[in-house]
Chains A and B, each alone.
Chain A
Amino acid sequence: MKKTIMKFAVLLLAIQAIGCASLGVEPWERDLLAKDEMALDAEGNDLGLDDHIYFSKEGTSGGRAFAGGGCGCN
Chain B
Amino acid sequence: MQLTKLTNLHTNKVPNISAALAAATCALLGTLPAQAAGPLEDWKIDTSLMYYGETDRVSAIETVINAEKDFGDEHIFVGKFVVDALTGASATGAVAQSTVQTVSRPSGAGTYQIAAGDTPLDDTFKDTRVQVSGQWTQPWSDNSRLSSGAQISAEHDYFSAGINSSYAYDLFNKNTTLSAGLALSYDIIKPEGGIPLPFGLKSYSAGPGEDDVGDDDAYENDDDDGIDARRADNDNKTTVDLLFGLTQVINRRMLMQFNLGYSMVDGYSTDPYKVLSVVNGLGLTQQLLYENRPDKRAKTFAFWQTKYALNNGVADISYRYASDDWDVNSHTIDSRLRINVGDNSYIQPHLRYYQQSAANFYQPFLIEGQSLPEFATADYRLGEMTAYTIGLKYGTQVNDGDELSFRLEYYQQSPKNAGFAEPGSLQNLDLYPSIKAVIAQVNYRF
Contact = CB atoms under 8 A, between A and B. Distances in A.
Interface of A: 1, 4-5, 8-9, 11-12, 15-16, 19-20, 23-27, 29-35, 37-41, 44-49, 51-55, 57-74
A45 B47 CA distance: 8
A62 B307 contact: no
Contacts of B411: 53, 57
B6 to A, nearest CB: 6
Contact of B322 (A32, A39, A47, A60): A60
Contacts of A49: 48, 50, 62, 64, 441
Contacts of B50: 49
Contacts of B300: 1, 4-5
* In the complex, the 7 A-B pairs of residues with the closest C-beta atoms, listed nearest first: A68-B2, A24-B175, A72-B158, A63-B303, A69-B239, A32-B309, A63-B320
A40 B7 contact: yes
B439 interface: yes
A66 B151 CA distance: 13
Contacts of A48: 3, 64, 66, 80, 82
Interface stretch (B20-28, B214-222, B244-252, B426-434): B244-252
A25 B261 contact: no
A26 B2 CA distance: 35
A33 B192 CA distance: 50
A42 B230 CA distance: 46
B380 to A, nearest CB: 10
A74 to B, nearest CB: 4
Given A38-B309, A49-B48, A68-B2, A33 B255 contact: yes
A69 B253 CA distance: 35
A74 B86 CA distance: 9
Given A71-B155, A72-B158, A55 B1 contact: yes
Contacts of A55: 1
Contacts of B158: 71-72
A58 B387 contact: yes
Contacts of A62: 241, 261, 263, 299, 301, 322
Given A8-B260, A66-B2, A66-B164, A52 B251 contact: no
7 contacts: A30-B12, A34-B14, A58-B387, A60-B356, A64-B7, A68-B183, A72-B155
Given A72-B155, A74-B90, A1 B265 contact: no
B10 interface: yes
Interface in B406-421: 407, 411, 413
B314 A38 contact: yes
Interface string B244-280: 0011111111011111110101000001010000000
A51 B82 CA distance: 13
Given A19-B175, A58-B354, A40 B257 contact: yes
Given A58-B354, A59-B356, A69-B185, A64 B309 contact: no
Given A19-B172, A24-B175, A65-B243, A44 B5 contact: yes
